[in-house]
Amino acid sequence: MPLSAPATQPLIALRDVVKVYATPAGDFPALKGITAEVYPGEFVGIIGKSGAGKSTLLNMITGVDHLTAGEVVVRGPGDQQPVSIHQLGENALAHWRGRNLGVIYQSFQLLPMLNLVDNITLPMDFCGLYRPFGSRGRALELLRLVDLEGHAHKLPAYISGGQQQRVAIARALANDPPILIADEPTGSLDSLTAETIFELFEKLVGQGKTIVMVTHDNSLAPRFTRRLYIADGALVEAESYASQ
Amino acid sequence: MLAMRPRWRKVLADLWENKARSLLVIVSIAVGVFSVGMIAGAYVIISHDMGASYASANPANIEMRTAPFSDELLAALEQVEGVEAAEGRCFTSVRVRTGPDSWTSLNLVSVADYRESQINLLVPLEGAAEPGRREVLLERNGLEKIGAAVGDVLEFELPDGTVRSMPVTGIVLDQSSNAGDFLASPLAYVSFDTLVWLHQPETYNRLYVTVSSDSNDEAYIRQVADAVNDRLERSRCQVYRTHVNKTNEHPLQSTVQAILGVLGALGVLIVLLSSSLIANTLSALLSQHQRHIGVMKLVGGRTFQIFGMYIVLILVYGMIALLIAIPLGGQAAYALAQLIADQMNFNLLGYRIVPLAFLIQTVIALGVPLASGFVPVNNGSRATVLQAVSGYNPGAVQSGWIDRLTSQAAERLTWISRPLLIALRNTFRRKGRLALTLFTLTMGGAIFVAVFNVRSALNNYLDSIGHYFLADVALNFDRPYRRNEIEDVALRIPGVEAIEGWTYASAEVLRPDDTVEVNLQILAPPAGSTLVSPNLLSGRWIEPGDEKVITVSEGMLEHYPDLQPGDTLRLKIAGQEDEWTVVGLFKFVGVQGLVGYASYETISDLLTQPNQAFTYRIVTDQHNYAYQDQMAATIDRHFRDLGYHVSLAEAGSDSLDTAAESLDILITFLLIMALLTATVGSMGLAGTMSMNVLDRTREIGVMRSIGAVDWVVMRTVIIEGLIIGLLSWFMGCIVAVPITSLLSAIIGQTVFATPLDFTYTVTGVAIWLGLVLVLSALASVLPARNAARLTIREVLAYE
Amino acid sequence: MPASDIPAPAIELSQVVKTFKSAAGEFTVLKGVNLVLLEHEFVSIVGKSGSGKSTLLNMITGIDHPTSGEVCVGGTEIYRLNESQRALWRGRTVGIVFQFFQLLPMLTLLENTMLPMDYCQVYAPGERPKRAQDLLALVGLQDQAHKLPAAVSTGQQQSAAIARALATDPPIIVADEPTGNLDSRSADVIIQLFDQLAGQGKTIAMVTHDASLTERTRRNIIIVDGELVDETVGRALPLLNDRQMLQVTRLIQRQTFQPGAAILSEGQAVDTFYMIDSGQVEIVLKARRGGELVVARLGPGEFFGEVELVYGGDSVASARAGANGPAILATLSHRAFLQLLSDSPLTGDAIGKIVQARLAENRAADRRRR
């Protein structure tokens, strides 16, 4: 770990984040003023039921969705100043995200027409870190990290769900971002496969990555370094969550 | 390959992954590029080659039909100012046997010296270049009609009834002698020394003149023509008809170019239609790729990078279409030019690539997809990560006026079942897509209907021309006979019901300064004839008792724009000048020259041939063409047997059929273009229907899950296709109105030098209704089958 | 469990195996599932994502084919029908409620509700609008009938979807995560609706991964990696994790005891852990004067024998089947039980507390009997 943990500055800081969706039946507050911080080297679990707002919260951190009020500030290692996610334009955000965040979704989201190496090389291509041979080498290295070097030239459809998720993780690591964001990464996997994915995350945390992961599975709770419980759009204490 | 950036690999994969869609886009680009390339290429080739080929024959600038004249007069004419060269030929109208009992009329042309010939040059195509004594060369155009080849011996029946046999020793091309006259008889060539054997005097009756200075200045040519005319008259040689031509312009050049112009406009329309097809397909592609785009943005792709990827994809589509369309278009352009050249009897200068067509095709193939793809790509590349990764995207339907209307209707009319309602509302869900589909299908239908209308207008026009040729058989003699004598003979032939003796004269319309404005053919049926049913524009027809009174065809308006019934024209007929009162103007085939009608009595007096006539119109007891043809042969034989000098007996509608045939080619072309647009339209519909099914995959799964069986699902899709087809049919019928009047105007003007009457026929409307229903059913059956095949699990378990 | 009149089975699955073949290879999602749902039951099927619960549901609705095994719904062998026949059968027999509502967006709520009647040709055409309106009123949407789905809230969409599922008056309602996309208040409304329907005699199977919903159903089926957890195990040991439950399911054995038959006698060595599947078990202490004292009557989902297994020693009381009917017990060996306690500290804690409580009860009873 580069810096001594929680005492240092937070990597991600959310302040009074509010998200209101306009629906036909009126405004629906999905997030009701969330304040939270994530420090370097943490493995933070955001735990909540479906509909509680946990994915919305994650979308605020990745800048995938726009917040209604509040602010999200992220400070990557390359950033001189903290970056206010909510103030970046769509393009600047895409570029920043490509270099600083690796995002992993429940449904893998690999491009079906590209083989595994190309899927992993793509972020390097888009973010200008692409060198024809160097980036391929790195992609192969990442495939080795997730134990899939033998499948480099297969299309995603030809490997199992668990393997696809590992490729998605390798892709998330392509530009060597300090932060990984994972939305129910084990949600589509059987319990054994889910376990291997979780172990991979633990390994990455051990190597210094900061990971924020959303899950509805409370049984995973003990394995995070810190837990944030969310219910109906607000953070709650662990005890009151369990009593629900 | 190893070093190819992953983003370009994705572009490549997109191209390859959905081959049907790629093919649809490429074909829709290629169809437009092909048709425009074909027509542009043909246009360029014909504009150049038609003139060049025509000029290469050194066509006469002045052509005169005259009384017989000699070499001496010809020599004198060469001295007339402005005359570069003058040549005489002798035209003899004969008949050639085409079967045991069938003859066709033919003009035997004798040329004094084939090698020294300077004007209206013949191009030898096969066999001998000049006929020997008692040999004949055939002109290419007549081959088909006569059905002869080199080496055959043909039987010719001379005007006096003698039959002579001559072998065909060669085939030649004469581009200039009958240029532009679809109704002319085929030509054959003999040597001058054969004339005596053919019972003809060795004189000329056709004069060809080229002018010395500007041979493309019509005013100058007319001036020289007037001088030549004067010189001939001084030598008491009568001129029956004068025709002037520019050297470098085929008489039909402007017609052909106008028609190519019409086809070109249709080609542009096809491009337009295919571009809407491309826009539709690309916007569907982009919406299907929404997730891919979101994922690319998720891993750092910026809007312009993604925009660039799809633009490159479009350019690749265009390039592939270009690779297909350029060679095909080039070949088709030449084939089209060749077809027209054959029809118009000129030679092409050889196959070549037309750089202009190449350029136009390239611009269209790359530009049109880019232009039509810009909006969908621009919108699509703005898709956000959120749209891509949030699984549920409930294809929201705004409550539009259609929905309000149908739901109100549904409340009142309970017979509108929900399944029908679904089809109805689905139709109007993707309004942009619907609009583009309707546009293509409507235009295709409108052109289809319009082509039928134009065809009907052309037929109507020919019909109305037919009103001037009402007789079942036309019988011409080469000398006048007494009318009552001929009538007596004719009426004894079984099947003949009535006969009229007509006469005719050529007149010169004189200007105040006594120069000739124009030649006029005057037909003189007996006053009160029932065999002319004129289509009067103004004034009245000839009535019994009229003297020095004529009616003229509307072509006269070109010379006298203000001509009104009651005005007078100064005419010179058979050497006599007089003021004639124009009592009426009528519609006639413009290109056929000016025609006037006067009463038989007046003209026969003028010609000092009272009660005699050259030409007779016969009414038979049946009026179908086969019967007329048979009667013509019977009448012909009957009169010849009695020793009359028959020059021609033909079915009354013969010449009209020839005219109609040449129009059929035009109609065929228009129909091909109409079918092409209809094809593009139904391709568009098929594309739209499969996109709709793809969009609604989940809904179809839901329908199945609540009890919809296969055919119910299919029915929903097919009804939607039929609704679109019917809508487009309805709109097409309306849009066909302006298109019809535009096409009628252009084609009438170019072919007949007169606009066609606007005609709207149900034939096209009905055929198109049937066709569009079949096409829309076909276009939706495949998507519908695919829809019915989807199992619910595939549909609902997609996440 | 209501024992008065024995309801007929509404849905029977026997040895259902489902294997998906994909480019990545074969993957068995259901591994020989046996399941019987009775008429009028409200059953929840619980499992994590990927456990095969949606596939199980698809087997019941005839949306998907089993690779092997048989499914009989309402007396129909549904996989003997072809796809199209099955669509019609499904429309008339099973009402389906989806997580994402799946209303057709171009039809109003009323039209959506009428659609199944149109497709399945049930009720006279003139009757359909009235019936649809009544169903919408039942789910509290009478005033929204003419709105398009996009114009109402997600909770209302789900209510409308339930109205639609009821349109053909099917005996069976199947719901796949019906509350998965709703906030907790809307979810509550939906569950109450299901409760009410179950009370009216519908058979309802609901898939969920939300354990809090399972308390509201009368029966709870847990599926783990394509296998069903023994329902007795699930009820007796709810704190085990999925894999542990499955492990226990594989180890248990069933024994049936006729009314009044002795299961354990006081002082006997105990080497089995007993969970009650059905029937009643009486825990009895010997009283003075040769009489006996019934200290507890245990019902389905409860267990005994744990005290001795935890503390060692002979049985502190006798156990016998209740007099009302036979008792069916699921038993676990001593070793397996101890292994379980060490694997699942949560369960260990919970059982520890129960042991303390029961020991306290026994001491109280001891005082009474002396």
User: Can you give the CATH number for the domain in which A187 is found?
Assistant: 3.40.50.300
- Cβ neighbors of A10 (< 8 A, separation 6 or more) are A37, A38, A39, A75
Percent of chain B beyond pLDDT 70? 91
Residue A196: give the domain boundaries. 42-52+90-242
Residues B177 and B166 in one domain: yes
pLDDT score of C342 more than 80: yes
Residue A203 lies in a domain: yes
Predicted local confidence at residue A6, as pLDDT: 45
pLDDT score of B204 more than 70: yes
Residues B387 and B452 in one domain: no
From the list C54, C90, C125, which residue is nearest B797 (CB)?
C54
pLDDT score of B754 more than 50: yes
Mean pLDDT over each residue of chain B, to the nearest integer: 83
Residues C303 and C348 in one domain: yes
Predicted local confidence at residue A44, as pLDDT: 94
Residue A162 lies in a domain: yes
Cβ within 8 Å, pair B301-A126: yes
Residue B436: give the domain boundaries. 396-466+654-799
Predicted local confidence at residue B315, as pLDDT: 94
Residue A60 lies in a domain: no
Residue A77 lies in a domain: no
Predicted local confidence at residue C4, as pLDDT: 45
From the list C111, C164, C165, which residue is nearest B421 (CB)?
C111
Here the ipTM equals: 0.84
What residues of chain B lie within 8 A of the CB of A132, using their CB? Answer: 2-3, 5
Residue indicated by tokens 């006997």: C268
Residues C284 and C165 in one domain: no
B473 with B649: CB under 8 angstroms?
yes
Q: Judged by CB atoms within 8 Å, which residues 131-160 of C form the interface with B?
A: 146, 148-151
When pLDDT is averaged across residues C246-273 and rounded to a whole number, the result is 87
∠ CA C123-C128-C133, rounded to 5°: 135
Instruction: Choose the final residue of a domain: B378, B393, B408.
Output: B393
- Distances in Å between the Cα of C82 and the Cα atoms of B315, B417, C311 are 46, 26, 60
pLDDT score of B799 more than 50: no
Q: Flag whether residue C27 sits within 8 Å of chain B, measured between CB atoms.
A: no
From the list A51, A161, A190, which residue is nearest C225 (CB)?
A190
Residue C251: give the domain boundaries. 247-368
Predicted local confidence at residue B410, as pLDDT: 57
User: Could you tell me the pLDDT band of residue B190, with boundaries at 50, 70 and 90?
Assistant: very high
Residues C124 and C203 in one domain: yes
What residues of chain B lie within 8 A of the CB of A56, using their CB? Answer: none
∠ CA B200-B206-B211, rounded to 5°: 150
Residues C12 and C41 in one domain: yes
Residue A178 lies in a domain: yes
Q: Which letter, b or e, does each residue of B739-776 get, where b requires 16 or more Cβ atoms within 10 Å of its Cβ?
A: bbbebbebbbbbbbbbebeebbbeebbeebbebbeebb
Could you give the CA distance from residue B685 to residue B782 in angstroms, rounded to a whole number? 12
For the domain that residue C292 is a member of, what is the CATH number? 2.60.120.10
Could you give the CA distance from residue B680 to residue B672 in angstroms, rounded to a whole number? 12
From the list B6, B304, B389, which residue is nearest A105 (CB)?
B389
User: Could you tell me the pLDDT band of residue B53, with boundaries at 50, 70 and 90?
Assistant: confident
∠ CA A81-A83-A88, rounded to 5°: 140
- Cβ neighbors of B234 (< 8 A, separation 6 or more) are none
Could you give the CA distance from residue A135 to residue A115 in angstroms, rounded to a whole number? 15
For chain A, give the DSSP string.
--S-TTTS--SEEEEEEEEEEEETTEEEEEEEEEEEEE-TT-EEEEE--TTSSHHHHHHHHHTSS--SEEEEEE--TT-SS-EEGGGS-HHHHHHHHHHHEEEEETT----TTS-HHHHHHHHHHHTT---HHHHHHHHHHHHHHTT-GGGTTS-GGGS-HHHHHHHHHHHHTTT--SEEEEESTTTTS-HHHHHHHHHHHHHHHHTT-EEEEEES-GGGGGGSSEEEEEETTEEE-HHHHHT-
Take residue A187 and report the two structure tokens written for it. 């949600």
pLDDT score of C326 more than 50: yes
Q: Flag whether residue A98 sits within 8 Å of chain B, measured between CB atoms.
A: yes
User: Could you tell me the pLDDT band of residue C211, with boundaries at 50, 70 and 90?
Assistant: low
Q: Which residue pairs from C28-32 have beta carbons closer than 8 angstroms and sit at least 24 positions apart in sequence?
A: C28/C226, C29/C55, C29/C226, C30/C55, C30/C56, C30/C59, C30/C66, C30/C226, C31/C225, C31/C226, C31/C227, C32/C69, C32/C227
Cβ within 8 Å, pair A190-C156: no
pLDDT digits (tens, 9 = 90+) for B557-606: 878 888 889 898 898 888 788 889 999 988 776 445 578 889 888 888 88
Percent of chain C beyond pLDDT 70? 96
Q: Flag whether residue C63 sits within 8 Å of chain B, measured between CB atoms.
A: yes
User: Could you tell me the pLDDT band of residue B392, with boundaries at 50, 70 and 90?
Assistant: very low
- Shortest Cα distance from B261 to chain C (angstroms)? 46
Residues B591 and B665 in one domain: no
Backbone conformation region of residue C307, classed left if phi is above 0, alpha if psi is from -120 to 50, else beta: alpha
- Cβ neighbors of C187 (< 8 A, separation 6 or more) are A51, C179, C213
When pLDDT is averaged across residues B486-501 and rounded to a whole number, the result is 89
- Evaluate the CA torsion angle C270, C273, C277, C283 in order and state its sign: positive
Residue A212 lies in a domain: yes
Residue A29 lies in a domain: no
Supply the angle between the helices B431-466 and B710-752 in degrees, to the nearest 10.
Answer: 40
Residues C113 and C165 in one domain: yes
- Shortest Cα distance from B397 to chain C (angstroms)? 6
Predicted local confidence at residue B732, as pLDDT: 93
∠ CA B191-B195-B199, rounded to 5°: 160
Burial of C360 (0-12, 13-18, 19+ CB in 10 A): exposed
pLDDT score of C3 more than 60: no
Query: Where would I find the H helices in B235-354?
Result: 253-288, 290-298, 303-344
pLDDT score of B398 more than 80: no
From the list A25, A190, A217, which residue is nearest C152 (CB)?
A25
Could you give the CA distance from residue B694 to residue B708 in angstroms, rounded to a whole number? 18
pLDDT digits (tens, 9 = 90+) for B527-560: 878 788 887 888 888 888 888 889 988 878 878 8
pLDDT digits (tens, 9 = 90+) for B99-116: 887 778 788 899 888 888
Backbone conformation region of residue C144, classed left if phi is above 0, alpha if psi is from -120 to 50, else beta: alpha
Predicted local confidence at residue B313, as pLDDT: 92
Residue C238 lies in a domain: no
Percent of chain B beyond pLDDT 90? 13
Residue C112 lies in a domain: yes
Predicted local confidence at residue A5, as pLDDT: 43
Predicted local confidence at residue A126, as pLDDT: 86
Among B16-30, B309-323, C208-222, C234-248, which is the least confidently predicted range? Answer: C208-222
Instruction: Choose the final residue of a domain: B223, B244, B265.
Output: B244
pLDDT score of C283 more than 80: yes
- Cβ neighbors of C255 (< 8 A, separation 6 or more) are C328, C329, C331
Chains near B, with 3+ CB pairs < 8 A? A, C
pLDDT score of B798 more than 60: no
pLDDT score of B182 more than 70: no
When pLDDT is averaged across residues B653-664 and rounded to a whole number, the result is 63
Q: Flag whether residue A80 sits within 8 Å of chain C, measured between CB atoms.
A: no
pLDDT digits (tens, 9 = 90+) for A121-173: 988 888 877 677 788 889 999 999 888 888 888 888 888 888 888 999 999 99
Mean pLDDT over each residue of chain A, to the nearest integer: 85
Residue with more model confidence, A224 or C324: A224
User: Could you tell me the pLDDT band of residue A22, with boundaries at 50, 70 and 90?
Assistant: confident
Predicted local confidence at residue B56, as pLDDT: 86
Residue C241 lies in a domain: no
Q: Flag whether residue B402 sits within 8 Å of chain C, measured between CB atoms.
A: no
**Cα C5 to chain center, whole Å?**
20
pLDDT score of B133 more than 70: yes
Predicted local confidence at residue B725, as pLDDT: 92
pLDDT score of B657 more than 70: no
Query: How many C-beta neighbours within 10 Å does residue B300 have?
Result: 27
When pLDDT is averaged across residues B713-721 and rounded to a whole number, the result is 89
Residues C79 and C220 in one domain: yes
Residues B646 and B676 in one domain: no
DSSP state of C269: B
Among B35-39, B133-137, B258-262, C107-111, which is the least confidently predicted range? Answer: B258-262
Residues C217 and C263 in one domain: no
Beta bridge partners of C28: C19
Could you give the CA distance from residue C317 to residue C266 in angstroms, rounded to a whole number? 4
Chains near C, with 3+ CB pairs < 8 A? A, B
When pLDDT is averaged across residues B620-640 and rounded to a whole number, the result is 81
Per the structure, the count of domains in chain C is: 2
pLDDT digits (tens, 9 = 90+) for A81-102: 788 888 888 888 888 888 888 9
Predicted local confidence at residue C172, as pLDDT: 92
pLDDT digits (tens, 9 = 90+) for B260-289: 787 888 888 888 888 888 888 888 888 888
What residues of chain C lie within 8 A of the CB of B796, using their CB? Answer: 63, 98, 102
Predicted local confidence at residue B324, as pLDDT: 93
Could you give the CA distance from residue B459 to residue C185 in angstroms, rounded to a whole number? 77
pLDDT score of B321 more than 90: yes
Residues B639 and B781 in one domain: no
Residues B29 and B91 in one domain: no
Could you give the CA distance from residue B591 to residue B62 in angstroms, rounded to a whole number? 17
Could you give the CA distance from residue C153 to residue C174 in angstroms, rounded to a whole number? 22
Predicted local confidence at residue B1, as pLDDT: 45
Residues B495 and B632 in one domain: yes
Q: Which letter, b or e, does each residue of C69-100 get, where b requires 16 or more Cβ atoms within 10 Å of its Cβ?
A: bebbbbeeebbeeeebebbbbbbbbbbbbbbb
pTM of the model: 0.73
**Cα B140 to chain center, whole Å?**
22
Predicted local confidence at residue C13, as pLDDT: 92
pLDDT score of A178 more than 60: yes
Cβ within 8 Å, pair A132-B3: yes
For the domain that residue C181 is a member of, what is the CATH number? 3.40.50.300
Backbone conformation region of residue B199, classed left if phi is above 0, alpha if psi is from -120 to 50, else beta: left
Residues C223 and C259 in one domain: no
Question: Minimal CA–CA distance to B185: which of B108, B98, B88?
Answer: B108
- Distances in Å between the Cα of B292 and the Cα atoms of A122, A156, B389 are 12, 14, 10
Residues B740 and B593 in one domain: no
Residue with more model confidence, B469 or B496: B496
- Distances in Å between the Cα of B337 and the Cα atoms of B144, B173, B677, C2 are 20, 17, 21, 92
Beta bridge partners of B577: B572
3-state secondary structure of B794: helix
DSSP state of B272: H
B773 with B719: CB under 8 angstroms?
no
Per the structure, the count of domains in chain B is: 4
Residue A130 lies in a domain: yes
Which chain C residue lies closest to B423 (C-alpha atoms)? Answer: C106
Per the structure, the count of domains in chain A is: 1
Residues B205 and B75 in one domain: yes
Residue indicated by tokens 């009557």: C297
Residues B705 and B557 in one domain: no
Residue C233 lies in a domain: no
Residues B579 and B479 in one domain: yes
